[in-house]
A and B are shown apart, each in its own frame.
Chain A
């Protein structure tokens, strides 16, 4: 590994925020050597508890995350917060604003807040976010909060990579619980009806309870439904109580599950292979000439994909290995 990385890791473990920030960028950007960083920190991770917070836009997730963080900080826990916002599909840029809801705690030395854009290339958000969580873990954070909008598949996967998922809803959100995206409901370990100072919160909470009742099997533990309001501060202490309990349990539990590890290894492999395939297919204008043929009416996308697949010999050794693979 490059000496620069080694230094950064050492400094990060000593609590240097700049080094932590730099390492996150290195991994998020997939800069040369990023995998070495991950390999180097992997053996020491697993100490932090990762809490995912998701919900529809306007549910008050950032504010709630800030409130939770403030209470954890008061209890002497250190925190990493990852706030994920979508990248623009047009420019690739992003406007990241969740941080502004956490200004009370933003200069507290026990907290590190990082905004992350989905970037969206090749569905790699989930792995990148997981890597950032691990760096925060390696930096010694007791708790990592990751906050995303629960709208896209990518974002759902991100929170599902956390140890515990909180789904935040609020009264007056469109069609009530119907608006909660399928797939999000299933991964939630806890439901929060936020902004409960507003009309309709009770109804919303009971609707959620009813739905959970109907969809769960007898004897199965149902996720709790809680009501909070950052405005009146109602329910937030209780919510933190439940979360703390989970954090303590997790400390006792430890080891990662086999399924998760399998999924991750396969995921990394898939991305590696797709990247390789794409590169090979682009070589010598093979892809472009196939596209030309389709546009001229002499082919179709299905045959083109098949032919390209056949022309790529995956086992052939490549003329120039990628930089990152030759190091370390």
Chain B
């Protein structure tokens, strides 16, 4: 039978921040890039996000945070994923992220920070590239890699 595989992404809004514009735009955009996007809606606890990421067997978790609570919330999600043995999932963070926090996020293991002005195409390309690096042997299993978009310079991001 014909194999069909899709990159699966969980777009999640942890914490109480209710600004969904960025999350919505990225969710629509990645769907149109051929990804299967699971959107959690507002006010997700880190536990809910981790549990969704595991059950949905996603390749990527994209956290959208505009409240300034990105460091503590991201840390909790990373720890939760690790506890479930799911720290191979690529985690990206989008929103209002001051430049000086980027490094702290990357140290936690975040594999992409996208702030205001990022393009969906760049985010998608970044995800494809990172997934390709993380598990090259699975590359042929992912139909999408044949499209072979390379990440271009610049960071993606989301509007507020």
Contacts and interface: CB of A to CB of B under 8 A. Distances in A.
- Do the two chains touch directly in the complex (Cβ atoms below 8 Å apart)? yes
A59 B38 CA distance: 20
B2 A115 contact: no
B52 A99 contact: yes
A88 B31 contact: yes
Contacts of B54: 17-18, 21
B3 A31 contact: yes
Interface in B1-39: 1-6, 8, 27-28, 30-39
Contacts of B52: 99, 106, 113
Given A30-B1, A103-B44, A96 B55 contact: no
Interface residues of A, number: 39
Contacts of B48: 103, 106-107
B47 interface: yes
Contacts of A95: 27-28, 31, 37, 39
**Category for how many chain B residues contact A:** 35 or more
Given A17-B54, A21-B54, A103-B41, A91 B1 contact: no
A92 B56 contact: no
Contacts of A90: 32
Contact of B31 (A18, A93, A103, A275): A93
Contacts of A96: 36-39
B40 A99 contact: yes
B2 A117 contact: no
B37 A18 contact: no
B78 interface: no
A90 B31 CA distance: 10
Contacts of A88: 31-32
B2 A93 contact: no
Interface of B: 1-6, 8, 27-28, 30-41, 44-45, 47-48, 51-52, 54-57, 84-86, 141
**10 closest residue pairs by CB, A with B:** A100-B41, A21-B57, A93-B31, A29-B5, A30-B3, A25-B57, A93-B34, A96-B38, A91-B34, A94-B36
Given A106-B48, A114-B56, 16 more contacts: A17-B55, A18-B85, A21-B54, A29-B4, A32-B141, A88-B32, A90-B32, A93-B32, A95-B27, A96-B37, A103-B40, A103-B48, A113-B52, A114-B55, A121-B4, A324-B1
